[in-house]
Amino acid sequence: MLFLRHPAWLWIKKHARHLLPPIDPSLQARFDEGHAFEPYAEELFGDLVRLGFSDFSEYQALPARTLETWRNGANAVAQGRYEDGTITCISDIVSRSGDGYVLTEIKSGTSAKPEHTFDLAFQRVVLEAAGFPITRS
């Protein structure tokens, strides 16, 4: 999401993290609250399969694990990674809906922000290019 503020932020985050300003305790608390909120939202999907990763090798394997989870009959996948060519995304929740899929973004805030629309739009482009037609976001 930093990229939407300025393209240089993405490069700095990847190649020069030491240049980023430190995260103050109140902002870190907001991040922590957001992460703590996710399990509550995920409970709305009873048969959810949660993927995710803990290191770079798991991150690299995540697209294959995501596809395998869908092939094994999952109805909803959290933290799956989708890719098409050089573009990739990790989606909060993707669930089956008829002949398509519903893309669900989990936010703990009280209102949608403009950057959320860009985030969902990008994810939708990646998912549809990867063969997952989105019927609702």
Count the Cβ atoms, other than its own, within 10 Å of residue 94.
23
Residue 67 covered by a domain: yes
Distance CA 125, CA 87 (A): 9
In a domain, 81, yes or no: yes
Does 36 map to a domain? yes
Give the C-alpha separation, 137 to 134, whole Å.
7
Say how many domains are in the chain: 1
13 domain-assigned: no
Domain of residue 42, residue span: 24-136
Q: Is residue 58 part of a domain?
A: yes
| pLDDT tens per residue across span 85-108 | 999 999 999 999 999 999 998 877
Whether 126 maps to a domain, the answer reads yes
Residues of the chain with pLDDT under 70: 1-10, 13, 31-37
pLDDT of residue 103: 96
Residue 3: the pLDDT is 57
So what's the pLDDT on residue 24?
80
Q: What is the pTM of this model?
A: 0.77
Asked whether residue 5 is assigned to any structural domain, the reply reads no
Angstrom distance (rounded) from CA 132 to CA 126: 9
**Domain membership flag for residue 17:** no
What's the confidence (pLDDT) of residue 135?
Answer: 96
